[in-house]
A and B are shown apart, each in its own frame.
Chain A
Amino acid sequence: MDTAEPTTETTHERRQRVLGPDVRRRPSGEAPPLPRELGRSGRFWLFMAAYFVATVIGVVLFEPSERLFHRIDTAVLRWFASWRAAPLTDVMETIALLTSRWMIRILRWGTIATLITVRRWRHLLVFLGALIVEAFVTYGLTLAIHRPRPLDVVTIGPWQDFSMPSRGLAALAVTLVGITYSLIPHGRWRDAAKWGTGGLLVVVGLARVYLAIDHPTDAIFGAVLGVAIGLTAFRWFAPNDVFPVTYRRGKAAHLDVGGRRGEAIATAVRDQLGYRVLDVQPVGLEGSGGSTPLRLRVREEGSGTERVLFAKLYAKSHVRADRWYKLGRTILYGKLEDETPFQTVRRFVEYEDYTLRLMEDLDLPVPRPYGVVEITPEREYMIVMEFFDGAVEIGDAEIDDRVIDQGLRLVRDMWDEGLAHRDIKPANLMVLDGDLKLIDVFFVQVRPSPWRQAVDLANMMMVLGLRSDAQRVYEHAQRLFTPDEIAEAFSATRGVASPTQLRTMMKEDGRDLMAEFQALAPQRAPMKIQRWSVRRILLTIGVVLMAFIVFGLIASNWAVFA
């Protein structure tokens, strides 16, 4: 297999060579590679939502509708009551116990305890939030609709307050959905849990209708509401693509690249870039939280040449994750990091493509860009680039003077061109045949703050120092940077300014590299990295206020949990 890239070929020349009969423009009206479809479950929930909106409006506003709903529900209740027999009633009462406060408490506290044990904090917060929202939404609706318990039929079993929607079923539904999405990994088991949840809700709902605790409409409404709140909370705030549930170490599969998405990737790469995809494999997932990195084995149709390419799949969920990440960074770093979150996934991928092309244009050792591929318009895109086949992460590579010089030269060149990488860490520095390569340019900033540039230098020196020693790296650095610049770098870099992976490796290394570099460089007082701005103050107040409200809600609604 010939995987070699013609090194002198420009991107334009390569495109001209590769563009063959397979490359085609998608005509107007033709579906994209992975069309966004509502799906069966989506249509079901949409129908249910519409049905209950009509029900609520009908019951609250129009007396004839209220009478109609009462009549239909009562007819169903009477039919169920006609089947009443002592043994069956005993069974139904036992089933209905699943909606008792004690059972729901056990389920909720069990879930909370498990989430704390496995330290899945985000899922825990989403679970608590979903419980609170469900509690007050159902409470508010029962007051607004104020429907009494079933009439005409004797009620058997415990109940409290108005009947519509069924608060017991809503509480059970949101709890079961929470368990499904926070504790059970995506895949076969979760699918089974979804079916189990659905089946259980149907059985419990039938039991409550049999016992005339709820009207049929109350039961369905309660279950639908609980499921809808749970689903929305987890799909929105803890999407599986970005926050997968796993019991293995490291980060698990991000977006699923098999099935329909896998086919869509192959079609999109063929139609838009002109390569036949032979194989798609997730790669380096443990070092990536913001996208799904892929290794594509492709064939150029014209020449029959096989290549290995690297691709990053971005979805809307990644944009949301990026927003939260940047919110946290803004609060942590303040004015020094005046980043604006991306509003769309298209902008997201366009920006990375731009930085890649910019750095390639400047002859910086980054992967060659191959372009952006549309999977689902405005929802999913993939950026394709060169794959450094055979490269090893700098943390596992032999470091010689050449690599040290290349690393320092890279920072010098970025400084001279007014750029900062902002994520210099071992996982983003690869060594291929003795040459240093820089990957993951998504965080690159044009005309960054001087502080950010200084941090890049310190982080690079520490990465190089990890594989050699501080004295050696410092001596090489003096050839490209003044002592004052090096002193500035180490006065600017503390704690969170370095990527987590670098901090962890330094801790494991045992040497205090930071202190060694600071001792070598001229003395300079530590630079303040916690600068305050109006935006940062408002954001911090907002976050504290939200935390206060959430904890207040948990405290004031303790009955939901306790």
Chain B
Amino acid sequence: MRWSAIALSITLMSGTVACSADNPQQPVCAHHDGSILVLEAQSVPSATRIPCIAELPIGWRFAGSLVRDSGTTLWLDHDRAGVHAVEVELMMRCDVSQAVEVPPAPDEIGMRTYQLPESLDPFVGSRMLVFDGGCIVSRYRFAEGSEPALVIEADRAVSTLPRATIVAEVRRDLDLTVCGAGAPPCAG
């Protein structure tokens, strides 16, 4: 009885921690074989680029992800910009009609880049990367009083991987196909 009560307490308490967060697995750009990257690729089979975390500057923290059949969402927290200060979403298409096209950054060559600033204090805005078969939208919603310049750090933290890299890794490891763009036809 005593042991079952203790076990129940531990289980319940660990559950409080476990269930209160979103998927905590971090899609690290350097780890091409990460299963979270495969899952992201599966969420938008047409997307030729997959969002990942390149490096997290001091103050930034990966806050979780939600990967489902309609797309992938990643969140970043910052100690001053706040919880979910940045939301990165991978989807099949996005609306860029209100946004302004800007030159792509060096790691964005081959993609079309758009920006949609909404407010400076608190800093609110979006950045869209449009590529073959998909689009990545980074939404910034910083806490009041935090510097808008943090957006530069946020942009440095998030990068993309070519889908083909992930497809090749899975082919090499499991001899199986991640269905979608750049892959041979799948069954069904």
Contact = CB atoms under 8 A, between A and B. Distances in A.
B35 A84 contact: no
B188 A156 contact: yes
A153 B12 contact: no
B31 to A, nearest CB: 12
A339 interface: no
B165 interface: no
A133 B20 CA distance: 13
A74 B171 CA distance: 14
Interface residues of B, number: 36
Interface in A72-127: 74, 77-78, 81-82, 84
B187 A77 contact: yes
Given A151-B174, A154-B187, 15 more contacts: A74-B176, A81-B187, A133-B11, A136-B15, A143-B25, A146-B35, A148-B39, A148-B178, A151-B179, A152-B187, A153-B187, A158-B68, A159-B69, A162-B39, A341-B1
B18 interface: yes
A154 B186 CA distance: 6
B39 A149 contact: yes
B47 to A, nearest CB: 15
A3 interface: no
Given A78-B187, A139-B18, A149-B39, A154 B179 contact: yes
27 contacts: A67-B174, A81-B187, A82-B187, A133-B11, A135-B19, A136-B14, A136-B19, A139-B18, A140-B18, A143-B23, A146-B25, A146-B36, A148-B35, A149-B39, A151-B179, A152-B179, A153-B179, A153-B186, A154-B186, A154-B187, A154-B188, A156-B188, A158-B70, A161-B68, A549-B13, A553-B12, A556-B19
Given A151-B177, A155-B69, A158-B68, A320 B19 contact: no
A152 B14 contact: no
A173 B141 CA distance: 40
A358 interface: no
A140 B179 CA distance: 26
B16 A151 contact: no
Interface string A539-561: 00000001001101100110000
Contacts of A155: 42, 69, 179
Contacts of A78: 187
A212 interface: yes
B12 A550 contact: yes
Contact of A552 (B16, B67, B69, B176): B16
A139 B22 CA distance: 10
B174 A81 contact: no
B19 A70 contact: no
A151 B23 CA distance: 21
A82 B12 CA distance: 44
A556 B42 contact: no
Nearest to A213: B69
A161 B23 contact: yes
Contacts of B186: 152-154
A236 B3 CA distance: 14
Contacts of A67: 173-175
Contacts of B68: 158-161
A147 interface: yes
B9 interface: yes
Contacts of A159: 68-69
Contacts of A152: 176-177, 179, 186-187
Contacts of A403: none
A526 interface: no
Interface of B: 1, 4, 9, 11-16, 18-20, 23-25, 35-36, 38-39, 42, 66-70, 170, 173-179, 186-188
A157 interface: yes
Max count, chain A CB within 10 A of own CB: residue among B1, B68, B188: B188
Contacts of B24: 143
Sorted nearest first, the 10 A-B pairs with minimum C-beta distance are A81-B188, A136-B15, A151-B176, A81-B187, A160-B68, A148-B38, A154-B188, A146-B35, A136-B19, A153-B187
A503 interface: no
A132 interface: yes
Max count, chain B CB within 10 A of own CB: residue among A135, A154, A161, A550: A161
Contacts of B25: 143, 146
A153 B13 CA distance: 39
Max count, chain B CB within 10 A of own CB: residue among A74, A132, A148: A148
Given A146-B25, A556-B20, A158 B69 contact: yes
A297 interface: no
Contacts of A546: 9, 12
B12 A151 contact: no
Contacts of B176: 70, 74, 151-152
Contacts of B187: 77-78, 81-82, 152-154
Given A81-B187, A136-B15, A147 B35 contact: yes
A481 B23 CA distance: 71
B188 A212 contact: yes
A251 interface: no
A323 interface: yes
A551 B14 CA distance: 15
Given A81-B187, A160-B67, A549 B39 contact: no
Contacts of B18: 136, 139-140
Nearest to A559: B19
Given A67-B174, A146-B36, A158-B68, A320 B1 contact: yes
A146 B176 CA distance: 17
Contact of B12 (A81, A160, A549): A549
B44 to A, nearest CB: 12
Given A81-B188, A149-B42, A553-B12, A162 B66 contact: no
A159 B68 CA distance: 6
B16 A549 contact: yes
Contacts of A553: 12, 15-16, 19
Given A81-B187, A160-B66, A132 B42 contact: no
Interface string A186-208: 00000000000000000000000
A66 B20 CA distance: 29
A212 B36 CA distance: 18
Contact of B42 (A66, A146, A148, A552): A148
A549 B9 contact: yes
